[in-house]
Amino acid sequence: MWAVTITAAADGSALGNPGPAGWAWYVDDEHWGSGGWALSTNNRGELQAVLELFRATAHLDEDLLVLCDSQYAINCVTKWMPGWKAARWRKRDGSPVLNVDILELLDEELRGRRYRFEWVRGHSGHELNEAADERARAAAESYQRGALAPTGPGWSSAPAPSAEPVIPPALFDLDDPDPVEVVLELSPDEHERLRQRAHDAGVSPEAWLRAQI
């Protein structure tokens, strides 16, 4: 018997298609993620949402039920990818498969995972789908305004903070007009996460870090 332990919705949104676009996955208010691009398509948003969901849950040894309102995203994973891979990511007519950059990454993330997909009708009041759609559209609208898109809490297993958190002393005064050099050491995994967050935001890693400060 296949037991579902994580149920998540994944959705994409594009304002113009192509246009400012966003993606989001959602489990609950403590577990969700979103991002986007200044110019992309709805289909890329749908696929990126699924990819980021699998990335966020890669450390969990649990079954995953993915809810999508995109038949395209579901069919890519459950029907078309094996044939496309066998044909070196070419369609039957010999033309290249669209969005292959995301599909190849998604194919890697699916290995060894226990999952299944379920289609849900969009904008029909489904709680998880509506939450993912709202966040994907918010990301797209952020890029439309030229603002940084919300990223969400992701999937953190860190313990909750105590009632009275200890606040460390400031490293420097942000109001000080003199420039301050900050050296940040990152592990390879941390560097890759930084690079991916910056890529999703459409900015350089340095600009993304400055925005966080």
> What does the domain layout of the chain look like in residue ranges?
6-145, 168-213
pLDDT beyond 50 at 170? no
Q: What is the mean pLDDT of residues 16-28?
A: 96
Token pair 């986007």 is at which residue? Answer: 36
207 — pLDDT class (breaks 50, 70, 90):
low
Q: What is the mean pLDDT of residues 171-175?
A: 50
84-116 burial: b if 16+ Cβ within 10 Å, else e: beeeebeeeeeeebbbeebbebbbebeeeeebe
Name which of 53-67, 108-122, 164-178, 184-198 the model is least confident about: 164-178
| Amino acid code (one letter) for 66 | V
44 — pLDDT class (breaks 50, 70, 90):
very high
pLDDT score at 179: 61
pTM: 0.72
pLDDT score at 136: 97
168 — pLDDT class (breaks 50, 70, 90):
very low
How far is it, in rounded angstroms, from Cα 185 to Cα 133? 36
128 — pLDDT class (breaks 50, 70, 90):
very high
pLDDT score at 160: 41
How far is it, in rounded angstroms, from Cα 155 to Cα 59? 10
How far is it, in rounded angstroms, from Cα 143 to Cα 102? 20
Q: What is the mean pLDDT of residues 135-160?
A: 86
pLDDT over 90, % of the chain: 66
Mean pLDDT, the chain, as a whole number? 84
Phi first, then psi: what are they for 52, rounded to 5°? -65, -30
55 — pLDDT class (breaks 50, 70, 90):
very high
What is the third-level CATH fold of 6-145? Nucleotidyltransferase; domain 5 (3.30.420)
